[in-house]
Structure 1
């Protein structure tokens, strides 16, 4: 089965841990992930600047390793990222901001990428949100 996964919640939320566990289980079960789409507070999971307390799971680092290891398509909503100060080098330069906190394997893009993923997948699985 082909899954598109959308994450709407911040890294410290239980739904973020569930999303990663689901994605890991899906691949372990022989399924395909056509795209991971981070939206709303989910964009924080792609930030390079999240510092996790020592007694907690470092979800941003785990997501980064998971996406890199499996060569997944990890997309961060550009509008949500800009609103929250999650910037790649191009957007930091464009808006004249001194800090860059988004790097590979993540790609900034728009909601059209979520739409395309939904069309390509058998199921859209969403985690978090209002």
Structure 2
């Protein structure tokens, strides 16, 4: 298991990554009320634009009223295409009274976490 936490200001995000055979399961949580807001499944495949590159197809299950789907899809699809693995991401980040700037910080932190996971799992 890989367990990574990254924070900036009052935004703190944790990622736990588990290898399940050749597949990968990642739990992303953070903020004031961690929860399950979205689940994604990404499956690697040849890119539609360049068959020599790997891309991924992603399915999304989002809980009503939650906005974790964009974050989960980014992490899931990026990990799947870069690592050439089936990837499930469970994501739930909630920060009370989050500002637009803090949303941008959250996205930046998710990208950093994703890059760090790729580095540790590649």
Structure 1-normalised TM-score? Answer: 0.26
Greater length-normalized contact order (CA 8 Å, ≥ 6 residues apart): 1
Taking structure 2 as the reference length, what is the TM-score of the superposition?
Answer: 0.27
Whose helix fraction is larger, Structure 1's or Structure 2's?
1
